[in-house]
Structure 1
Amino acid sequence: MTPAKFSTGQVQVNKTVAELREMGKAARAKVPFEELGQFTPTGRDSTVMMDQVRQLLIPELLPERTRLMGASAFAFFRGTAELMEADLDTQPNTRILTFTCGDAHIGNFGFYASPERRLLFDLNDFDEAGINPWEWDLKRLLVSVILAGQANQFKEKKLKEFLPAVAASYRKGMKWMFDQTTLSRFYPANDVEKIIKASALDEDSSKLLMNLINHANKRDSEQVVRKFTTLDIRGGLCFRENAPRTTHVDDDFTTHVNDYFAAYRQTLRPDVNLLLSQYHITDVVRHSVGVGSFGSRCYLILLTAIDGSHLVLQVKEALPTRRRGSQKSTRITADFEQSEGQRIVDSQKILQSASDAFLGYFAGHERSFYVRQFRDMKESVNLAQLDWDQFQTYAATCAWTLAMAHSQSPTAAIIRGYIGGSGKTLDSELAKFAWAYTDQVQADYQKFCEYRLTD
């Protein structure tokens, strides 16, 4: 089901927020907090599911993807969204559906520029986005906090004492959003200065964010051009080779790039489409990124404007969500995944407070893609460099931001009713689940290290 076809189902538009909250309270009686704290292993074979996903990727990039995933249990977790999503599907859930990121781990938040050039902090990866129980995102975030904290060698006692506070931050963020009007919720305060104020960050944490802001402000297309390009033998600008991550290839996308670029432009606002009419394609390169995305078909397009300035766009393959990809051996074709690019783009526009003006999509001959501007004022937090106080602040801010994203769905008031007031029992039960599921991740990671890394 794509977001464009999303049916609110149990929600009727003539219900008030108060009535929807009552529905949430009723759902709490049917699925008590204690049930959300349970995790029952499914007995599934992680290797089989991961191999199904690998079949969708570029074979020559799989060794590097394996190396990246083997770096730590957290890196493995980032690259195996299919495992947790399949496991969550078998666990008790609230049955309150909402638009979810699908992969809301702590590393999938970051800074980027709004179309008005304000620096925002938000979710930044939507490849797994879809309609699921709201708590799936929060549970994935909580597990990632544990794994990232363990990678940073923070003491387990500290993590156990802190984890309920992350769930509490989500709950308080949702409550705060429903202290606003419907229209105010549509314009959430995701610019960095307002987040600092709303979530009451301390002085040191505010300084950390301001340093990231200063760094992000220096990242634009011209900076990307300086870093990623060189001159060819004819003196023309081209992307620099850095195999296997960055390399020129001859495939369907590069062969038909002009046709695909024209199709992509038709999904943009008229003013952005008109802007791009002033650019021509100078070079195209395959450029692999991330951990979970590494191995999928990703490209950079270098555009040169009529005044000689540049714009760099990133094109990413829009695969089906990992849950579908790990359970289907069907050959992936444009017909099979024709709405996947639209699913990702629509979900991103719904969940983010503001989205890249160049965000669009198109269908190739056999695959679907989405497009966005590359590294324009984008900055991610290096989790390994955070001290304990900074880590706590950052994790709580991610949870707060996740609540702001979920509040955009028509079911958000039901979530608000379900989580209730103080919610300390909910916080502790969600933390309980996260610790139990972390053991599952560690077991899967050990199996991966024993078998995959020795291939």
Structure 2
Amino acid sequence: MTPAKFSTGRVQVDKTVSELRAMGKAARAKVSFEDLGRFQPTGRDSRPMMDQVRRMLIPELLPERTRRMGASPFAFFRGTAELMEADLDTQLNTGILTFTCGDAHIGNFGFYASPERRLLFDLNDFDEAGIAPWEWDLKRLLVSVVLAGRANGFKEKKLKECLPEVANSYRKSIKKMFDQTTLDRFYPLNDVEKLVQASALDQDNYQLLMNIINHANKRDSEQVVRKFTTLDQRGGLCFRENAPRTTHVSDDFTQNVSAYFGAYRATLRPDVNLLLSQYHITDVVRHSVGVGSFGSRCYLILLTAIDGSHLVLQVKEALPTRRRGSQRSTRLTAAFEQTEGQRIVDSQKILQSASDSFLGYFSGKQRSFYVRQFRDMKESVDLTQLDWDQFQTYARTCAWTLAIAHAQSPTAAMIRGYIGGGGKTLDAQLANFAFAYADQVAADYTAFCDYRLSDQDQPVTTN
């Protein structure tokens, strides 16, 4: 079954949880655990799909994006969601569709503040979010654990022992979610205090978590202002240049930022909209971030309040998902892209236990964007600094959190039915798939490194 068209308003389930679980259990007869564990290479050429994505990006930023992706197979994996999307689409799947992150690799989880200023841990990237088979997210997470673990130099034997435990963490979390009522599943609130209690962390892991919390608590808009801004020749506050990553530009967004800011405000709650009426725009800069999204149109807006305090918002281009953006031969049009910001924002609100109060979207003349607060109590884990015990604990925590996100979908009881009784067999089969696909990533990465210095740093002709 192929992914359904994205829609939140049309989702309606007229089955009971028991009936849905029975449907999920019946799906095992059509697609077995062994089927999920089998990866069949497609023989596809990665270049056309990667080039289709690159056509949507800013040409002058492509060399830096290429450099970042070339750092390791894991970095390459982070920057090429389109390849795994295409490959998964050719494999057998359970047919159980749910709201998915679409890019649930181990680097796309992190800490951030709830509207009540509580520190949460959750998924934090939804550019590829939409509706797809639930296992696609879990498979991407498991493959990323293999690649990140290899990048850290962990032994293959340890990774092979760890990976089934990561899958097991997902299964346990799904089961736990369905020990609760529908309303209780809606209010998971993945706050760090609960995370500490649930994980029973040892002293080393607890200290790692406390260091992250302390660092996150120091991150607010005023800290961003101190780090990213300077005074211009007339003494006014402005963003500091750091080309090509951070630079002032003149384009459709910067020329129409006031109008677009007003359109964005209209998508917010009335109280947040009223709050923003007390701010004015002080400066705008293009600020590129990430690996796969590096090269997309991404900006920072510096806002100054009537009391002189500041707020920094991040505006990101809402590109079509890699599925549509990389595999369609037709030219991407403004009409096609203009709903993408709403897709990302709606998915984030569904999949996260709580979301940024400033999360909103708007459509430009040709492109769609979404907006969020920049770096407010946000912190990610530096995977390269984790020892083995910390790494495997973190991987299991990500799987546990992913299951909580999936449990928000009306069809999640079918997942519960499918995995019920799967035990070690399902865990082992999913691990088998992850190792097989990690080898595919390694092959794609080698091919990428072979041609990137010639082809990849050259502009891609736009259709």
Which range, TM-score by smaller chain? over 0.9
Displacement of 1:135 in angstroms is 0.1
Cα distance in 2 for residues equivalent to 1:144 and 1:177: 24
Q: Match of 2:8?
A: 4
Which letter maps to 1:202? D
Which letter maps to 1:389? D
SS of the aligned residue for 2:316 comes to strand
Cα distance in 2 for residues equivalent to 1:2 and 1:304: 37
Cα distance in 1 for residues equivalent to 2:93 and 2:306: 54
Once the two structures are superposed, residues 68-103 of structure 1 have per-residue CA deviations (whole angstroms, 9 ceiling, x without a partner) of: 000000000000000000100000100000000000
Answer yes or no: is the 8 Å Cα contact 2:281–2:301 preserved in 1.
yes
Q: Match of 2:154?
A: 154
Displacement of 1:30 in angstroms is 1.5
Give the ranges of 4+ consecutive aligned residues of structure 1 lying more than 4 Å apart after TM superposition.
none
Displacement of 1:208 in angstroms is 1.3
Q: Match of 2:460?
A: none
Q: What root-mean-square deviation, in Å, do the aligned CA atoms of Structure 1 and Structure 2 show?
A: 1.0
Which letter maps to 1:426? L
Q: Match of 1:344?
A: 344
Which letter maps to 2:140? R
Answer yes or no: is the 8 Å Cα contact 1:2–1:339 preserved in 2.
no
Once the two structures are superposed, residues 245-284 of structure 1 have per-residue CA deviations (whole angstroms, 9 ceiling, x without a partner) of: 0000000000000000000000000000000000000000
Unaligned runs of 5+ in 2: 456-463
Cα distance in 1 for residues equivalent to 2:299 and 2:372: 11
Displacement of 1:329 in angstroms is 4.0
Cα distance in 1 for residues equivalent to 2:98 and 2:239: 40
Answer yes or no: is the 8 Å Cα contact 1:25–1:418 preserved in 2.
yes
Calculate percent identity across the aligned residue pairs: 83
Q: Match of 1:395?
A: 395
Answer yes or no: is the 8 Å Cα contact 1:70–1:453 preserved in 2.
no
Q: Match of 1:182?
A: 182
Displacement of 1:6 in angstroms is 4.7
Displacement of 1:199 in angstroms is 3.4
Cα distance in 2 for residues equivalent to 1:191 and 1:338: 33
Deviates more, 1:371-380 or 1:413-422: 413-422
Alignment of 1:356-367 (within 5 A): 356-367=356-367
Answer yes or no: is the 8 Å Cα contact 1:3–1:346 preserved in 2.
no
Which letter maps to 1:159? L
Q: Match of 1:270?
A: 270
Q: Match of 2:197?
A: 197
Cα distance in 2 for residues equivalent to 1:96 and 1:6: 17
SS of the aligned residue for 2:153 comes to coil
SS of the aligned residue for 1:242 comes to coil
Displacement of 1:2 in angstroms is 2.7
Answer yes or no: is the 8 Å Cα contact 1:332–1:367 preserved in 2.
no
Q: Match of 2:316?
A: 316
Does 1:443 pair with 2:443? yes
Alignment of 1:186-335 (within 5 A): 186-335=186-335
Alignment of 1:365-444 (within 5 A): 365-421=365-421, 423-444=423-444
Cα distance in 2 for residues equivalent to 1:76 and 1:225: 32
Deviates more, 1:221-230 or 1:183-192: 183-192
Does 1:100 pair with 2:100? yes
Cα distance in 2 for residues equivalent to 1:282 and 1:411: 46
Alignment of 1:53-202 (within 5 A): 53-202=53-202
SS of the aligned residue for 1:326 comes to helix
Cα distance in 1 for residues equivalent to 2:402 and 2:209: 18
Cα distance in 2 for residues equivalent to 1:186 and 1:196: 21
Q: Match of 1:51?
A: 51
Deviates more, 1:46-55 or 1:331-340: 331-340
Answer yes or no: is the 8 Å Cα contact 2:24–2:414 preserved in 1.
yes
SS of the aligned residue for 1:4 comes to coil
Deviates more, 1:180-189 or 1:217-226: 180-189
Which letter maps to 2:157? K
Displacement of 1:150 in angstroms is 0.2
Aligned residues: 451
Q: Match of 2:461?
A: none
Which letter maps to 2:45? D
Answer yes or no: is the 8 Å Cα contact 2:338–2:366 preserved in 1.
no
TM-score by length of 2: 0.96
TM-score by length of 1: 0.98
Displacement of 1:16 in angstroms is 2.0
Unaligned runs of 5+ in 1: none
Cα distance in 1 for residues equivalent to 2:394 and 2:272: 34
Cα distance in 2 for residues equivalent to 1:402 and 1:451: 35
Deviates more, 1:293-302 or 1:41-50: 41-50
